Structure 1
Amino acid sequence: MPFDLSSLPQKKEVIYNHLESCIKQESPEQVMTRYYTLFVQATGYENVEIRENLEKIMKSEEGKKTLFSFLSYVFYLPINYWLKQSSEVQQIIPNFVKMLENIPPFARVQTPVARRIREAVTQFNKSDSFLGLKRLQNLLTSNPTLQQDKSQPLSTLLGRYPFLYQHCLLVAESSAETKRVLKQFQQKQQGDFELSLSRYITNQVRLARLTKRYGSPTEAQKHLTLVPNPSLLKDQEVIATLQHFISGIEGQSTYQDLAQRFIIHSAKAETFKTYKKDLYEYLIKTVDEGYGKRQLNQKLSSHLKNSLSKWDRETPNEQLILRVTNNLLKFLVVESDKNIDHYLYLDLVTNLGPTKTIGLLLKILLISPKIYPYLTSRFAILYQHYENTPRYSVHWLFKSLETLQIALTIHCSGMDVSYWRSAKALGSD
């Protein structure tokens, strides 16, 4: 009897509903056992209807075509649920991923369908969807000790950078629910960092004031419980980074001040060509003059001149601004995962340092906020390219990510930093 293709979505839905019900009613350990029996052992599942539906999906040609999306959805059902629970429950996720990864050797006594299920899961483990699961596993198994070890791969630091989650953990097959849950998880992680950074800054303000009162940092620390540095940068580096992004960089002008002035000024540009010239002047104004004249100015000027040049006579509009700023990010950081050349970015970090380099990118973001996901995607490309590399070999990228996390927290979150505007408040020399 031919397989009824029209019933395929219904059979999948029956499996989804069954597993979802079990996930909500049973312990994570019981759910793990269910998944092991159904997808790893691939035989002996107690619910006959579910086992038969899965077997029919595996047998059908149509089912094979949508196999990865089906498995991705099924495997993310418990993960999505557990991610919304406590951190203790979340720790089952790495074990769940490990279970799916360790498919035992095939046995001769297995039925053809059981072999087909296990082969399907084995093939799924080579897909981008499973790579996203592996990254989530790394994110949840990382700990402060691993993160402090410079010999560990960059992947141990992924959890520190919520702005990378959407790009590194989601794939084309990700469901709407997975995207929603991951966004909530990202917001929770970012919120935790914002709170830690806010407490750290407040503590530094108090320390600076007490130092002034007692005339000695050592004496001041006796009257204050120090809050730990939430960054992996050294204390002096964090203070300098905070001063750069919170206090003025041109006299008392902040990055927001400079961006606002540019937005007002560039609104008068009658042509897109004029806008690009103004944009060039805005960007190079805070670049070290020596380095700019040697390297960056000419390259940047040429890039902007040639970028979207066929619209030079048009009146600037939001779409053109979004496109030209996105092109700038590709030029300054990295173009794509197909063209991974990032020599210019590496040169910028080497000569300007990570703080001023991130500041240059921040200036672009602040005049075109909609490029936020384009900016973070550039760094996701670099992260994915180097994620298996020891951190000490890509120190420039590590420092860039730490600095970017601070810069985005200060400028793109709800954290109020007006109280700490003065550089002196943060204890500068």
Structure 2
Amino acid sequence: MGRYPFLYKDCLLNNYSVQQYIDFIGAFKRSQQKSFNKKLHKTIVLQKQKIEVARLRALANKVPQIIESVPNPTLLNNQAFNKATETFREVTKNHINNGKSKIFLSQIASSSYQDFKIEFINYLTEDIEEERKRLQLQQYLMKNIEVNLTNSHKDSINEFLILRISNNLLTQVIFNPNQPSNRLDMMNLKSCLGSTQFVAFLLKLTFLSPKLKYSLRQKLAHLFEYYELTSIDKSRWLIQMLENCLLGFAIAQEKATIV
């Protein structure tokens, strides 16, 4: 668990924790996150330098150069790390730096249910380049947002309703180990999108409200505690997802300036 600062609060603290211990965990979390961010920044800088050196040598020698890989600070292989870094960087730039999340929230204020539903699904899926994956996620959202809004069709869309709908989606796609009825939903979505795109989808939800970020971290903590003592083979999918979350949260926290 030491690898994942975003799990500390929900896994290590409870209502009976004394203030001194709470302060210690908070300081340790900040220290661990800062350390990871520094390693991430160093990795990306070294990668860019190696690519540039190889390019210049290729121009000088007229021979393609092999680019040596740089060890990355996650448990992902270098190919998965590079793909995830680029995906989370683009999502963060689009939705935080360029304000797509704020624009979305302002555009759907007091809109009709049908207009909101279409815009919400577009917001969550527009960054997915592969058409098959995008369509599959759109179909899933079309079905499940309908279920979540069964009693709200006549309500005007407001901040509270958006938060409720978004949190319902998080509950649907991050299953509760104690009530695993929607485990299949999560595994099917993750299998369809892949860990990186699945986490990017979760990030876009959290960009809508800090409360959603807290809710996501709570749900991830429950998953971690449930699978903590299982074998690596049985929890490999969760490790892969947590590593993507570690990377995605770091890039979002730094508003993509880390890369």
Offset of 1:285 from its aligned partner? 3.2
Match of 2:202 in 1: 361
Match of 2:28 in 1: 185
Offset of 1:194 from its aligned partner? 0.8
Q: Percent identity?
A: 27
What is the rounded CA distance, in whole Å, between the counterparts of 1:181 and 1:248 in structure 2?
33
State yes or no: 1:281 paired with 2:122: yes
Match of 1:214 in 2: 57
Could you say if the C-alpha distance between residues 203 and 382 of structure 1 is closer, same or farther in structure 2, counting changes exceeding 3 Å? same
AA partner of residue 381 (structure 1): H
Q: Aligned pair count?
A: 250
AA partner of residue 239 (structure 1): N
Match of 1:109 in 2: none
What is the rounded CA distance, in whole Å, between the counterparts of 2:180 and 2:139 in structure 1?
22
Q: How does 1:4-403 map to 2 (within 5 A)?
A: 158-215=1-58, 216-218=64-66, 228-247=71-90, 254-256=94-96, 257=98, 258-267=100-109, 269-272=110-113, 274-287=115-128, 288-291=130-133, 293=135, 296-334=137-175, 336-341=176-181, 342-403=183-244
Q: Per-residue displacement from partner, 1:197-225 (whole Å, max 9, x unpaired)?
A: 0111111111121121112554x76xxxx
What is the rounded CA distance, in whole Å, between the counterparts of 2:148 and 2:7 in structure 1?
27
Describe the SS at the equivalent of 1:388: coil
What is the rounded CA distance, in whole Å, between the counterparts of 1:209 and 1:348 in structure 2?
37
AA partner of residue 340 (structure 1): P
Structure 1 segments of 4 or more deviating over 4 A?
none
Offset of 1:344 from its aligned partner? 1.3
What is the rounded CA distance, in whole Å, between the counterparts of 2:149 and 2:19 in structure 1?
34
Q: Is the 8 A contact 2:39 2:73 kept in 1?
A: yes
Could you say if the C-alpha distance between residues 261 and 208 of structure 1 is closer, same or farther in structure 2, counting changes exceeding 3 Å? farther
Offset of 1:273 from its aligned partner? 5.4
Could you say if the C-alpha distance between residues 261 and 206 of structure 1 is closer, same or farther in structure 2, counting changes exceeding 3 Å? farther
Q: Is the 8 A contact 1:245 1:255 kept in 2?
A: no
What is the rounded CA distance, in whole Å, between the counterparts of 1:300 and 1:265 in structure 2?
20
What is the rounded CA distance, in whole Å, between the counterparts of 1:346 and 1:337 in structure 2?
13
**RMSD, matched Cα:** 2.6
What is the rounded CA distance, in whole Å, between the counterparts of 1:339 and 1:349 in structure 2?
19
AA partner of residue 41 (structure 2): S
Q: Is the 8 A contact 1:337 1:381 kept in 2?
A: yes
State yes or no: 1:409 paired with 2:250: yes
Describe the SS at the equivalent of 2:178: coil
What is the rounded CA distance, in whole Å, between the counterparts of 2:101 and 2:19 in structure 1?
35
Offset of 1:308 from its aligned partner? 4.4
Describe the SS at the equivalent of 1:381: helix
AA partner of residue 362 (structure 1): L
Offset of 1:172 from its aligned partner? 2.9
**Greater RCO (Cα-Cα under 8 Å, separation 6 or more):** 2
Structure 2: gaps (5+ residues): 59-63
Offset of 1:408 from its aligned partner? 0.6
Match of 1:93 in 2: none
What is the rounded CA distance, in whole Å, between the counterparts of 1:190 and 1:236 in structure 2?
23
Could you say if the C-alpha distance between residues 358 and 412 of structure 1 is closer, same or farther in structure 2, counting changes exceeding 3 Å? same
Which protein shows a greater Rg?
A: 1
Offset of 1:387 from its aligned partner? 0.8
Describe the SS at the equivalent of 2:229: coil
Q: What TM-score do the two structures reach when normalised by structure 2? A: 0.84
Q: What TM-score do the two structures reach when normalised by structure 1? A: 0.53
What is the rounded CA distance, in whole Å, between the counterparts of 1:175 and 1:415 in structure 2?
35
AA partner of residue 174 (structure 1): S
What is the rounded CA distance, in whole Å, between the counterparts of 1:199 and 1:309 in structure 2?
49
Q: Is the 8 A contact 1:199 1:227 kept in 2?
A: no
Q: Is the 8 A contact 2:195 2:241 kept in 1?
A: yes
